[in-house]
């Protein structure tokens, strides 16, 4: 079974994906972490974010340890990841990794949960169940701001909100694999829902899904 979960930043897709993976004992992949890892490596090595060839080399050489980079969730890496993810050659370099993970889950798991922005539309259009998790921008910005504020009290909400708006625009309008729900995805708006309520909704949707 493959569960594809897509949606914009701070909508709650990662929280849901991890919880579903634990519930079903499935393998879990945060595809956004792949792009964050490439972005972090590029910043560390002072690689120009417009140097496509160099970025493809970084993407092709990713190892598990790269996903544990200490700055993976910082605003700077988030911005770099969004720019890197807009480059088709980088997406191609990471596509096989994601698809192989879904088709042959590590640890001999019976299924996989993948979250990102194009899992249901590009990576696994054949997924058993497709969810699109969203929320309004104000709610998502506040969630991200609170998350960042725990690590750095000086983080300014307006900057977080503006960065999120810019990232949404870039993700939704990029030429390759833009952020959008798959035609057969079920949308869950988490703006006014608790994490438990989102999880319960997802379980009901998954239970009603039929293998393709």
The CATH number of the domain holding residue 47 is: 3.40.50.300
Domain membership of residue 45 as a residue range? 2-207
Task: Give the pairing type, strands 27-30 and 112-116.
Answer: parallel
Residue 99 lies in a domain: yes
CA distance linking residue 103 with residue 147, whole number of Å = 33
Q: What is the pTM of this model?
A: 0.88
Q: Quick check: is 156 in a domain?
A: yes
Is residue 145 a part of any domain in this protein? Answer: yes
* Within-domain flag for 212: no
pLDDT per residue as tens digits for the range 24-52: 999 999 998 999 999 999 999 999 999 99
pLDDT at 210 (0 to 100): 61
Residue 212 has pLDDT above 60, yes or no: no
Share of the chain above pLDDT 70, in %: 99
Strand partners, 188: 133
Q: Give me the number of domains the chain comprises.
A: 1
Asked whether residue 57 is domain-assigned, the answer is yes
pLDDT of 152 > 90? The answer is no
Going by C-alpha positions, the residue among 17, 34, 22 that lies closest to residue 132 is 17
How many Å separate Cα 157 from the centre of its chain? 22
Model confidence at 125, pLDDT cuts 50, 70, 90, reads very high
pLDDT at 75: 85
- Tell me the per-residue pLDDT of 165-205, one tens digit each, with 9 for 90 and over: 998 998 999 888 899 999 999 999 999 999 999 999 999 99
């Amino acid at each position: 079974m493959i569960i594809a979960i897509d949606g914009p930043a701070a909508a709650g897709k990662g929280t849901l994906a991890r919880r579903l993976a634990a519930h079903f004992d499935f393998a879990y992949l945060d595809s956004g972490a792949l792009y964050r890892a490439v972005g972090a490596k590029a910043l560390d090595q002072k690689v120009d974010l417009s140097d496509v060839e160099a970025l493809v080399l970084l993407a092709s050489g990713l190892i598990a340890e790269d996903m544990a980079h200490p700055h993976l969730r910082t605003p700077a890496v988030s911005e770099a990841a969004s720019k890197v993810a807009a480059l088709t050659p980088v997406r191609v370099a990471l596509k096989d990794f994601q698809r192989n993970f879904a088709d042959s889950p590590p640890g001999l798991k019976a299924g996989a949960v993948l979250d990102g922005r194009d899992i249901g539309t590009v990576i696994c259009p054949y997924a058993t169940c497709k969810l699109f998790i969203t929320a309004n921008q104000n709610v998502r910005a506040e969630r991200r701001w609170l998350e960042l504020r725990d690590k750095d009290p000086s983080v300014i909400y307006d900057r977080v909100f503006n960065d999120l708006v810019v990232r949404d625009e870039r993700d939704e309008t990029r030429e390759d694999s833009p952020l959008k729900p798959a035609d057969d995805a079920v949308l869950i708006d988490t703006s006014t829902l608790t994490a438990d309520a989102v999880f319960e909704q997802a379980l009901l949707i998954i239970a009603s899904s039929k293998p393709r």
